[in-house]
Structure 1
C-alpha cells in the first residue's frame, strides 16, 4: 500500500535562529581562529564519512550506527572545546544555561524513544528466531507454531510505537529551544556558539532521520537551510540532500520502512508466510529450504545491526547525561563558592 507523501519540512521556517555573525569590530585572535577551524574541520570530516557511497547504504543500520557515533564524538568535542577555550561555567549567561538544560532534556527524551523502538524491534527478532527454530522440524505442530510466530511478527511491525510518534513534537521543541538568547558575546563565546551551531545541525539532522526511519513516515524529516558562511556547510548539504531524497523516494514507492536490514527481513517473511500457511504435508522442498535460509541470513544481519545501534544510542544518552551532570555539578560548586565568599564577608562584618 502506498504511503502519502508528506511535504518537506523546513528546519528554519522563519529564518535561522543561530545567526552567528559577530558584532562589528569583534575580531578573533589567531589562537581562537585555530581552535575554531580545527573543530569545524573535524566536524566536516565526520559529515564526509556519513555520505553514503551508494543509495543502498541509505538508511542501513550500519549507517545509523555511524551517524550515532558521529553525534557522540561531536558532543564530546564540545566539552573538550570548553576546556580549550577556558570558558568556565561562571562566565555563562544564565539564559544560556537554561537553554542548554532544556535541550539536553529533549535529547534524553529522544534517546529514550529510540531505545524503546530498538527494544520493540528486538522483540520482533525473538519472534523470528522462534520461527526459524520451529521450521527446523518437520512436525505439523512446529509448522503451526512457526506460522503463529510470523503472525506475531507481522502484527508487531504493523503497530505503532507511541514514543516514536511523539518524536516529531520533541524535534519541533528542540528546534525552537535552539534559538540562542541574545546576549553580549565575547570572542570566546562567539567561537563556542559557532561550534555549538554545527553540532546542533548534525544532531537535528540525525535525529530526524532516525525518527523518520522508525516511524515509517516522512513527517519527521527535516530540511535544514545552513548558511554557506560555514566551511562544513557544502558537505552537510550534500549529505542531507542525498539521504533525505532517497528516504522520500523509498516511502513514495510504498515501502513501510527505509531500513535495508528490516526490509530484507520483511521481504523474506512475506515470501515464506504463504508457503508455510499452505503446507499440509511436511514435505521438505528445495524452494522451501532456500526461503528459510534466506530468512535466517536476513534475521542474523538484522540482529547484529540492532545490537550495534543500541549500544551507540545508549552511548549518546550517556554523553548527553554526563554533560548535563557536569554542568549542574559546576553550577553547584560555583554557588557554594559564592556562598562561602559571602559568608566570609558577613563574618568579617560581625567581627568589625
Structure 2
C-alpha cells in the first residue's frame, strides 16, 4: 500500500467530523483523552519486537489484532466519559462511522477468505508428504510437482484476497480529508481518539496483509503529528516493522511471516532432491527434511487457526459497536435535517 508518489494519509474510523482542528488551535486534551493516548502509546510499545526474527509472527499478529479491539473498547468508554451522546452528533458523523466500520468488516471478510486459501496450501504440502511416504516412484514425482505448485500458489498475489484487503486500507486512508463542519464542545478530544484508532488499525492491517504477501506494495508509511502522546512509540514501531520486512525481501526471502518463511525454506530443501535425486544426501537426512517440513507445516496451520479466531473476535467487536450505535440512534436522533441512510 505504500506509494512513493505521494504522502500517506492517516485515518479515522468514526470519521473526522471536526476536520482535525487541533492543528490550528492550542486546544489541550482532557484528562480522559490523555489517559486514552497513554494507553495507546503503551500498546504500540508492547508490540515492538525484541529481536528481528520476531518481526512478523502469528503470535505478533494475534496480539496486534487484540490491541485494536482494546482500543475500540477504550473509544466507547471515552465517548461515555466525555458525555457526548448520539443526539449531539451531526448526522454526518453517524454515516461516517457506519461506513468506516463497514470497511473494517469488509477487511475481516477478505482476510478470512485468504486464510482459507492459506489452509489449502497446507493441504497441498500434507498431500505431498503423504506421497513421500510411498515407495512408488510416481508418488515421488507427484510430491515434487506439489511442492513446485505450492510455491507458485503462495506467490500468486492476484489470485488471493490480499488486493481486496489493500483496497479496504486505501478506502480508510481516503476518509481523512473531510469537509470542515461546525465545531462543538469536546469534539476535539473525540476526533483525536478516533485518529489514533484509525492509525493503529491501518498500520496493523497493512502488516497482516504483508505477512502473506510477496511485495512491499502492501506496506503503509504513516506520518503522525508530534502533538499525539503516542506518536513516538508508533513511529518507532512502524520503522522497526517496515524496516525489517524490507530486510527480509532484500535477503532474497519472499515471505515476511516467520512461520511461512520456515515452511518455504523446508520446501526448497526437499524440492531439488525429488527432482535431481538424493545424490550424496543419505536417506536419514532426507527423512529429516521431510520431518522438518511436516512439523513446520503443522505449526503454520495452528497459527492460521489462532489468527482466524482472533479475526472472528475482532469482527464481533466491530459488529457490537455498530449495533450499539444504531440502538442509541433509534433512541436519540442525531442533529440533522437530512434523512439518515444506514448501510447495514
Cα distance in 2 between the residues matched to 1:51 and 1:270? 30
The structure that is helix-richer by fraction is 1
Range that drifts further, 108-117 or 261-270: 108-117
Cα distance in 2 between the residues matched to 1:39 and 1:181? 26
Is residue 87 from structure 1 mapped to residue 80 from structure 2 by the alignment?
Answer: no
Deviation of 1:148 (Å): 4.2
The equivalent of 1:47 in structure 2 is: 44
Cα distance in 2 between the residues matched to 1:147 and 1:95? 57
User: 2:124 touches 2:146 (CA, 8 Å); kept in 1?
Assistant: yes
The equivalent of 1:339 in structure 2 is: none
Deviation of 1:155 (Å): 3.3
The equivalent of 2:54 in structure 1 is: 57
Is residue 10 from structure 1 mapped to residue 11 from structure 2 by the alignment?
Answer: no
Is residue 78 from structure 1 mapped to residue 80 from structure 2 by the alignment?
Answer: no
SS in 2 for 1:121: helix
Range that drifts further, 147-156 or 219-228: 147-156
User: 1:265 touches 1:299 (CA, 8 Å); kept in 2?
Assistant: yes
For the aligned residues, what is the CA RMSD? 2.9
Task: From the superposition, tell whether residues 20 and 231 of structure 1 become closer, same or farther in structure 2 (CA, over 3 Å).
Answer: farther
Is residue 179 from structure 1 mapped to residue 177 from structure 2 by the alignment?
Answer: yes
The equivalent of 1:131 in structure 2 is: 128
Task: From the superposition, tell whether residues 263 and 8 of structure 1 become closer, same or farther in structure 2 (CA, over 3 Å).
Answer: farther
Aligned pairs for 1:168-317 (under 5 A) are 168-279=166-277, 285-317=283-315
User: Across the two proteins, how many residue pairs are aligned to each other?
Assistant: 325
User: 2:47 touches 2:60 (CA, 8 Å); kept in 1?
Assistant: yes
Range that drifts further, 316-325 or 259-268: 316-325
- The TM-score normalised by the length of structure 2 is 0.85
- The TM-score normalised by the length of structure 1 is 0.83
The equivalent of 1:348 in structure 2 is: none
The equivalent of 1:344 in structure 2 is: none
Task: From the superposition, tell whether residues 277 and 90 of structure 1 become closer, same or farther in structure 2 (CA, over 3 Å).
Answer: same
Range that drifts further, 147-156 or 121-130: 147-156
Deviation of 1:57 (Å): 0.9
User: 1:167 touches 1:220 (CA, 8 Å); kept in 2?
Assistant: no
User: 1:96 touches 1:181 (CA, 8 Å); kept in 2?
Assistant: no
Cα offsets for 1:257-280 (capped at 9, x unmatched): 111111110110111112233459
The equivalent of 1:334 in structure 2 is: 332
SS in 2 for 1:21: helix
Task: From the superposition, tell whether residues 191 and 250 of structure 1 become closer, same or farther in structure 2 (CA, over 3 Å).
Answer: same
Cα distance in 2 between the residues matched to 1:307 and 1:198? 29
Kindly name which structure, 1 or 2, has the bigger radius of gyration based on alpha carbons.
1
Range that drifts further, 136-145 or 103-112: 136-145
Unaligned runs of 5+ in 2: 11-15, 335-344
Unaligned runs of 5+ in 1: 337-352
Cα distance in 1 between the residues matched to 2:50 and 2:246? 18
User: 2:47 touches 2:63 (CA, 8 Å); kept in 1?
Assistant: yes
Is residue 116 from structure 1 mapped to residue 113 from structure 2 by the alignment?
Answer: yes
The equivalent of 1:107 in structure 2 is: 104
